[in-house]
Amino acid sequence: MAGSGIFGEIIDGDVFKYYADGEWKKSSSGKAVSIINPTTRKTQYKVQACTQEEVNKVMETAKAAQKSWAKTPLWKRAELLHKAAAILKEHRAPIAEALIKEIAKPAKDAVTEVVRSGDLVSYCAEEGVRILGQGTFLVSDSFPGNERTKYCLTSKIPLGVVLAIPPFNYPVNLAVSKIAPALIAGNSLVLKPPTQGAVACLHMVHCFHLAGFPKGLISCITGKGSEIGDFLTMHPGVNCISFTGGDTGIAISKKAGMIPLQMELGGKDACIVLEDADLDLVAANIVKGGFSYSGQRCTAVKVVLVMESIADTLVEKVKSKVAKLTVGPPEDDCDITPVVSESSANFIEGLVMDAKQKGATFCQEYKREGNLIWPLLLDHVRPDMRIAWEEPFGPVLPVIRIGSVEEGIHHCNASNFGLQGCVFTKDINKAMLISDAMETGTVQINSAPARGPDHFPFQGIKDSGIGSQGITNSINMMTKVKSTVINLPTPSYTMG
Ligand code: G3H
């Protein structure tokens, strides 16, 4: 159970502690932030409302701890990460329980998130050993006008303190996707979890604590964004920010100083369906891609752009699959569970009502109870409807019928987002042309968008983000290149 057994020390009464300087602590604010269970809409957990002074302390210790961590052998950093991964996987049950209660993640998906996170940490340890164990060697006579008198050696060095801010929908997985690359690369790490998802994050951090990482190297600070959000992201002690979330990321990137940023800020992933596509495959991918975790994934299929001639058949196939989705509490492992908050449900409802008023065809009756919204496919959506462009982050999927492939590409590219997209066709040549034309960070051919496997590059363009993630890219992003040039008095050639 969350907060018990080996996790007993992370809670005080009914308030979870924050983690700093290798210890679990109560905030001097004496205040707590409540975490509302999306299913019951009642307070499930409480976390510390940390103060700006506590943020300052965490930054100081993070800076000091990083200096000696950077001198810790790479193999030893990897060893500790492997240990943390094993502890995380061993204790998947209480962490999954927190995910179920805080963010209404279906029971099996909650366990999968924790296991996937352990695997990510292990892979990152191995990848780090490989890529950080190598540098480059350059000689000067390859550039015009130079003789072979300079040898340049490069290596990758840490940035310093990395601030990680994961989103509510994958609080554990998207936290470790920042923590593990930062640590293997020799950085220290300050984690600011989302409020919903904070308790799962605190449990995950305890697994790193139990693995024996040095004091102060990892910190987890909880609290109100209004109190510590800007203070953290604008803190002079931060040397890199890795953020996943909504358009708050745009504000952060405007305010952050001259530091590397890794941002993933959502998407409006288009699914373009051509006449020759395997429509059973398409329907299965639309339902999985559009409705898993109730559409609360940045990589969810968020608009279907289907050729008019096959639209009726496809919509019928999707409708019959949607009818089979189970709707209810996450504890019962239902396919569709309550969305994360009442305000999110209200936003989704606003998009649905706008589409209704403007004449979209409802393939199912719109139904909502509290934060639980039944899956809804909206056909005959037109570009003047908000749902054609906005990201519902809920189980509502618009279908736009297109007269040509160009129309589909145009709609995809007119979005301010550019995370992923997908195209379904049996013609690989057409698929490649469409993929090249789509202004998105990734295009999936004959499958729904997805971030994983976690070592694949993952990036958005336009408002979808800055930089590229995935294990290798994250390790590289959290380092900088350092060169040493050896200057020789006379040209020197190998083998004389
Ligand atoms: O919500 C954003 C996540 O990066 C999506 O990850 O494709 O594994 O669901 P996923």
Amino acid symbol at 218:
I
What pLDDT was estimated at residue 251? 94
- Strands (DSSP E) found in 124-174: 136-139, 150-158, 161-165
Ligand 1 atom with the shortest distance to the CA of 293: 9
109, 169, 263, 296: residue to mutate for ligand 1 pocket, most atoms within 8 A of CB: 169
- Catalytic residue, chosen from 97, 102, 264, 390, is 264
**How does pLDDT run along the chain (496 residues), one tens digit per residue?**
888 999 999 999 999 999 999 999 999 999 999 999 999 999 999 999 999 999 999 999 999 999 999 999 999 999 999 999 999 999 999 999 999 999 999 999 999 999 999 999 999 999 999 999 999 999 999 999 999 999 999 999 999 999 999 999 999 999 999 999 999 999 999 999 999 999 999 999 999 999 999 999 999 999 999 999 999 999 999 999 999 999 899 999 999 989 999 999 999 999 999 999 999 999 999 999 999 999 999 999 999 999 999 999 999 999 999 999 999 999 999 999 999 999 999 999 999 999 999 999 999 999 999 999 999 999 999 999 999 999 999 999 999 999 999 999 999 999 999 999 999 999 999 999 999 999 999 999 999 999 999 999 999 999 999 999 999 999 999 999 999 999 999 999 877 6
What pLDDT was estimated at residue 495? 77
Q: Check if 126 is active-site.
A: no
What pLDDT was estimated at residue 462? 97
* The overall pTM is greater than 0.95: yes
**Residue 95: other Cβ atoms inside 10 A:** 27
Give the tokens for residue 184: 């293997």
Cβ(239)–Cβ(259) under 8 Å? yes
What pLDDT was estimated at residue 132? 98
Ligand 1 atom with the shortest distance to the CA of 450: 7
Amino acid symbol at 325:
L
Using the Cα atoms of residue 173, residue 175, residue 176 and residue 181 in order, give the sign of their dihedral.
positive
Cβ(158)–Cβ(186) under 8 Å? yes
- Helix (H) or strand (E) run with residue 319 in it: helix 308-322
113, 114, 170, 469: residue to mutate for ligand 1 pocket, most atoms within 8 A of CB: 170
- Helix (H) or strand (E) run with residue 431 in it: helix 428-437
Amino acid symbol at 337:
T
Q: Would you call 21 exposed, middle or buried from its count of C-beta atoms within 10 A (0-12, 13-18, 19+)?
A: middle
Ligand 1 atom with the shortest distance to the CA of 458: 4
Cis check: omega of the bond before 398, within 30 degrees of 0: no
Ligand 1 center–CA 77 separation, angstroms: 27
Cβ(238)–Cβ(190) under 8 Å? yes
Report d(CA 448, CA 468) in Å as an integer: 20
Amino acid symbol at 385:
M
**Residue 324: other Cβ atoms inside 10 A:** 8
Ligand 1 center–CA 452 separation, angstroms: 8
Ligand 1 atom with the shortest distance to the CA of 169: 1
Ligand 1 center–CA 450 separation, angstroms: 6
Ligand 1 center–CA 395 separation, angstroms: 15
Ligand 1 center–CA 387 separation, angstroms: 20
Output phi, psi for 232, to 5 deg.
-70, -50
- Lining ligand 1 with CB less than 6 A are 169-170, 297-299, 450-452
Ligand 1 center–CA 173 separation, angstroms: 9
What pLDDT was estimated at residue 494? 78
Which segments of 51-153 does DSSP mark as H helices, in order?
A: 52-69, 74-90, 92-103, 107-132
115, 269, 298, 417: residue to mutate for ligand 1 pocket, most atoms within 8 A of CB: 298
Residue nearest to atom 2 of ligand 1 (CA): 298
